[in-house]
């Protein structure tokens, strides 16, 4: 079995930044696929000193090449299990097994899909899963937010500052009536129906609803929440947030409740932003390296 100081689970901005900082003092392997990072298809317009349009994939590929130059090894495959062993961990990926002293969880989140025709086809062409990221592109445009929970209500409240016309549609709403009333008072059209199809030519132009309505819209924000890291967290006894049980709880040093396990980026919860992922990745990398140096080598 191979041996390395630190394993990073995730090849997005959090994982790559963690690896860059940790590798100054420790050997580091990164597992995961940059093309599966939420950043891969993003056009960044809110990251310090980066002028729009910058493609997320360019940031990832440059980051990987920087990390490789300082000795980080990348394996574009998923980790299947992390087992505590001899004070460290045995990590099994799809094709290999490696033992390490510390693990940095940076596996991001998966946005819940609506699963309707047009959703995949128009992703990045009017369909988005991130109102925080893409709101600026819909200034003065007609926008539909899909979802009935707090993520959708929050996105709608923010989008009221940008859209010329705003709809919020879902068959039922889990947020309180007063939240829905406030959105209505601010000008949001709230519709109790499901989106059944997203249509357009080169970009989103129209949505069909289960009640037979057709809405002319330029953008559809699917805000149905997200999935985190439940299975691996349960196996290791890692504490998740107590409201949704989706996101890893960390302290200010990105430590989880399990000694030797750190977490960074979207996996730690809102806000789902590049700047946060990079900042937490930096801290996790430094603190994990400190832990390894003071306890093992």
**Interface residues with ligand FAD (CB under 6 A)?**
9-15, 31-34, 36-39, 41-42, 44-47, 78-79, 106-108, 128-130, 133-134, 265-267, 272-275, 277
Helix 13-22 and helix 274-295, axial crossing angle in degrees, nearest 10: 30
Compare residues 134 and 157 and give the one whose CB is closer to ligand FAD.
134
For the CB of residue 266, give the shortest distance to ligand FAD in the complex, in Å.
Answer: 4
Compare residues 112 and 189 and give the one whose CB is closer to ligand FAD.
112
Closest CA to 273 of 60, 122, 131: 131
Compare residues 101 and 272 and give the one whose CB is closer to ligand FAD.
272
For the CB of residue 174, give the shortest distance to ligand FAD in the complex, in Å.
Answer: 23
For the CB of residue 216, give the shortest distance to ligand FAD in the complex, in Å.
Answer: 23
Compare residues 72 and 183 and give the one whose CB is closer to ligand FAD.
72
The β-bridge relationship of strands 142-146 and 165-169 is parallel
Compare residues 245 and 275 and give the one whose CB is closer to ligand FAD.
275
Compare residues 41 and 257 and give the one whose CB is closer to ligand FAD.
41
For the CB of residue 109, give the shortest distance to ligand FAD in the complex, in Å.
Answer: 7
Closest CA to 176 of 210, 153, 209: 153
Taking the C-alpha atoms of residue 123 and residue 145, their distance in angstroms, rounded to an integer, is 14
Closest CA to 190 of 206, 170, 174: 170
Extract the tokens encoding 230: 């439940």
E strand or H helix that includes residue 66: helix 56-69
The angle at the Cα of 158, spanning 149 to 202, to the nearest 5 degrees, equals: 90
Taking the C-alpha atoms of residue 239 and residue 248, their distance in angstroms, rounded to an integer, is 6
For the CB of residue 190, give the shortest distance to ligand FAD in the complex, in Å.
Answer: 25
For the CB of residue 105, give the shortest distance to ligand FAD in the complex, in Å.
Answer: 9
For the CB of residue 192, give the shortest distance to ligand FAD in the complex, in Å.
Answer: 27
Compare residues 180 and 248 and give the one whose CB is closer to ligand FAD.
248
Residues forming beta bridges with residue 198, ordered by sequence position: 207
Compare residues 270 and 296 and give the one whose CB is closer to ligand FAD.
270
E strand or H helix that includes residue 185: helix 177-185
Cis peptide preceding 271, ω within 30 of 0: yes
The β-bridge relationship of strands 110-111 and 127-128 is unpaired
**Cβ-Cβ contacts under 8 Å for 65 (sequence gap 6 or more):** none
Extract the tokens encoding 152: 């959708």
Through-space distance between the first and last CA atoms of the chain, rounded to whole angstroms: 19
For the CB of residue 64, give the shortest distance to ligand FAD in the complex, in Å.
Answer: 10
């Amino acid at each position: 079995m191979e041996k390395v100081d630190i394993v990073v689970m995730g090849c997005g901005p959090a994982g790559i930044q963690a690896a860059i900082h940790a590798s100054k003092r420790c050997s580091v392997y990164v597992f995961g696929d940059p093309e599966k990072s939420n950043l891969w298809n993003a056009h960044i317009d809110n990251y310090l000193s980066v002028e729009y349009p910058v493609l997320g994939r360019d940031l990832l590929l440059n980051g990987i090449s920087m990390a490789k130059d300082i000795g980080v090894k990348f394996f574009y495959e998923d980790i299947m299990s992390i087992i505590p062993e001899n004070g460290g961990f045995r990590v099994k990926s799809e094709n290999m097994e490696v033992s390490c002293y510390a693990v940095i969880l940076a596996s991001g989140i998966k946005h819940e899909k609506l699963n309707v025709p047009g959703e995949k086809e128009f992703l990045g062409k009017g369909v988005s899963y991130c109102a925080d990221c893409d709101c600026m592109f819909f200034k003065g445009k007609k926008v539909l937010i899909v979802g009935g929970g707090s993520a959708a209500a929050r996105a709608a409240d923010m989008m009221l500052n940008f859209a010329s016309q705003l709809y919020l549609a879902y068959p039922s709403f889990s947020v309180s009536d007063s939240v829905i009333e406030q959105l209505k008072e601010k000008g949001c059209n709230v519709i109790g129906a499901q989106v059944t199809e997203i249509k357009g030519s080169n970009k989103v132009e129209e949505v069909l609803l289960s009640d037979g309505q057709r809405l002319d819209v330029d953008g559809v924000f699917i805000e149905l929440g997200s999935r985190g890291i439940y299975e691996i967290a349960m196996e290791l006894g890692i504490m998740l947030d107590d409201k949704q049980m989706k996101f890893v709880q960390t302290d200010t040093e990105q430590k989880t409740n399990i000694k030797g396990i750190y977490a960074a980026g979207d996996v730690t919860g809102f806000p789902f932003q590049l700047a946060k992922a990079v900042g937490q990745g930096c801290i996790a990398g430094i603190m994990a390296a400190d832990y390894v140096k003071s306890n093992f080598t």
